[in-house]
Amino acid sequence: MTSETVTVSASIGSGDPPARTAWGLILFLLALHVLNQIDRQLVAAFAADIMRDLGLSRSQFALIAGLAFSGVYAFAALFAGVLADRLGRVRVLSGGLGIWSLFTALAGLAQGFWTMLAARPFVAAGEATLVPTASNIILARVGDSHKAAALGLFFAGIPLGIGGGFLIAGLLGPVLGWRGTFLLMGALGVIALAALMRLKDAPPDLSHRPTLAGNLTALFAVFRAKRRALWASLAIIFAHFHTATSPFVQLWLTSEKGYAPAAAAQLYGLMFVTFGLLGTFGAGLLGDWAKRRFGFDRAATMFALLLILAPLLVIYRLAPGGTPLFLLGMAGSILFMTVIYGPIFAIIEELLPPQLKATSTGLNILVLNILAIGGGALLIGVVSERLVVAGSARSWTLPLLGADGLALLAVLFIFAAMRSPRQIAD
């Protein structure tokens, strides 16, 4: 980390459009987001190896990959937003990075279900500090006409991290094994921590002493008065039912689509990096451009995108593996997961006063992780196990398709947001 970045972080608080130094800060936060997502996705990327070596059932793996992580992540993210307002964003994020890196390494030493299950909540608690702190650093730094693009660039860490996790599994797995890869990523986190601790953030505003109960009460009052914020929040929550299918991709590709484990990891990783980056950053740029050039509502842009992508989710599940139609569906699936972040968070952010933005982010993360990612993943695992007992040849495809159907409700919610009044924060 350069001294230039340290200086930039000290000036956070301007609402001006991002200068070169501000983009440098955003790129550093993007790098942390990539590391965050890789560490989270290693369990999914090495799913077949971990299930074999630890002797896990489908429902046990679903619990480790889903609710054991997302349940803790959800509540920790909500508290992280309020804690950052009290202690400072960089301080909270630094503590989180240290925790998730240590327990990623320890997860690589797991000897069975219980030891892996014990490590995952600590990884989740540490990783939960990133989005509420980093996203609000970015929002404080950039002007309204660039917010969706800046957030889209930061949230590009999701496809780059998910894709990178699968690529790492395909490339390093045969060399280091899943245990060695976990240890390596934990060590990289310690190096990143040394760079992060050099950043200087603006001190917290202690004239406003936030409490979780007070912030939530105020936030719900905003949702009642400005339904557009509520509909946009529900859209991003339900879209994550499709994200809940990602831990099972390698298992599904190997058991029902005819791919070898390493080939499945490399294919999905490469596709996720390519189309996920297009989705996160591209959708942010498109939303900002359409608003500046034609005055289009970001919600209208999102509705059009999700409506186009919706049929591809069904094609993805039903097309034969390896065919052009299947690959088109996979691309559409990844785009559906990733186009939502920059534009929808920008829609919500413009409706909220500054002291509620981190709390809103944390609350959305809580609900989408508990309801969609955690609950959805556990339900997929349980239903899949029952379908195996029943002798179904599509014991992964059918529950995954069911989760996709819930995700498509996001199209209706973003339509409702589009039809709601376009208010701004009081």
Cut 0.85: pTM above it: no
Q: Which of 338, 350, 361, 236 is nearest to 282 (CA)?
A: 338
Contact indicator for 44, 165 with CB cutoff of 8 Å:
yes
Question: Could you write out the DSSP letters of every residue in 268-294?
Answer: HHHHHHHHHHHHHHHHHHHHHHHHHHH
Confidence of residue 396 (pLDDT cuts 50, 70, 90): very high
* Backbone dihedral angles phi then psi of residue 108, each to the nearest 5 degrees: -70, -15
The residue-averaged pLDDT of 256-269 equals 86
First to last CA, the chain: 38
Residue indicated by tokens 């159907």: 405
Per-residue confidence (pLDDT) for residue 12, from 0 to 100: 38
Please check the confidence at residue 116 and state whether its pLDDT lies above 50: yes
Residues 283 and 21: their CA atoms lie apart, in Å, by 23
pLDDT tens by residue, 31-56: 999 999 898 888 888 888 899 999 98
Per-residue confidence (pLDDT) for residue 227, from 0 to 100: 92
Chain Cα centroid distance, residue 319: 27
Confidence of residue 103 (pLDDT cuts 50, 70, 90): very high
Contact indicator for 89, 201 with CB cutoff of 8 Å:
yes
Please check the confidence at residue 268 and state whether its pLDDT lies above 70: yes
User: So where are the chain's domains?
Assistant: 3-199+219-419
Residue indicated by tokens 């409700």: 409
Please check the confidence at residue 138 and state whether its pLDDT lies above 60: yes
**207 or 222, which is more confident?**
222
Q: What is the largest CA-CA distance in the chain?
A: 63
Question: Could you write out the DSSP letters of every residue in 16-34?
Answer: SPP-HHHHHHHHHHHHHHH
Please check the confidence at residue 219 and state whether its pLDDT lies above 70: yes
Domain 3-199+219-419 matching CATH 1.20.1250.20: the answer reads yes
Contact indicator for 42, 178 with CB cutoff of 8 Å:
yes
pLDDT tens by residue, 165-216: 888 888 888 888 899 999 999 999 999 898 888 776 666 555 556 677 777 8
Please check the confidence at residue 248 and state whether its pLDDT lies above 80: yes
Confidence of residue 297 (pLDDT cuts 50, 70, 90): confident
Side-chain-side CA neighbours of residue 31 (13 Å): 13
Contact indicator for 163, 17 with CB cutoff of 8 Å:
no
Please check the confidence at residue 110 and state whether its pLDDT lies above 60: yes
Confidence of residue 362 (pLDDT cuts 50, 70, 90): confident
Per-residue confidence (pLDDT) for residue 14, from 0 to 100: 40
**What DSSP element (H or E) covers 196?**
helix 157-196
Contact indicator for 280, 341 with CB cutoff of 8 Å:
yes
Confidence of residue 131 (pLDDT cuts 50, 70, 90): confident
Residues 351 and 87: their CA atoms lie apart, in Å, by 25
Question: Could you write out the DSSP letters of every residue in 364-388?
Answer: HHHHIIIIIIIHHHHHHHHHHHHHH
The residue-averaged pLDDT of 335-346 equals 87
Please check the confidence at residue 112 and state whether its pLDDT lies above 60: yes
Contact indicator for 190, 68 with CB cutoff of 8 Å:
no
Per-residue confidence (pLDDT) for residue 140, from 0 to 100: 72
Residue indicated by tokens 């919706």: 310
Read off the tokens for 54.
């630890």
Judged on CB neighbours under 10 Å (0-12, 13-18, 19+), 95 is middle
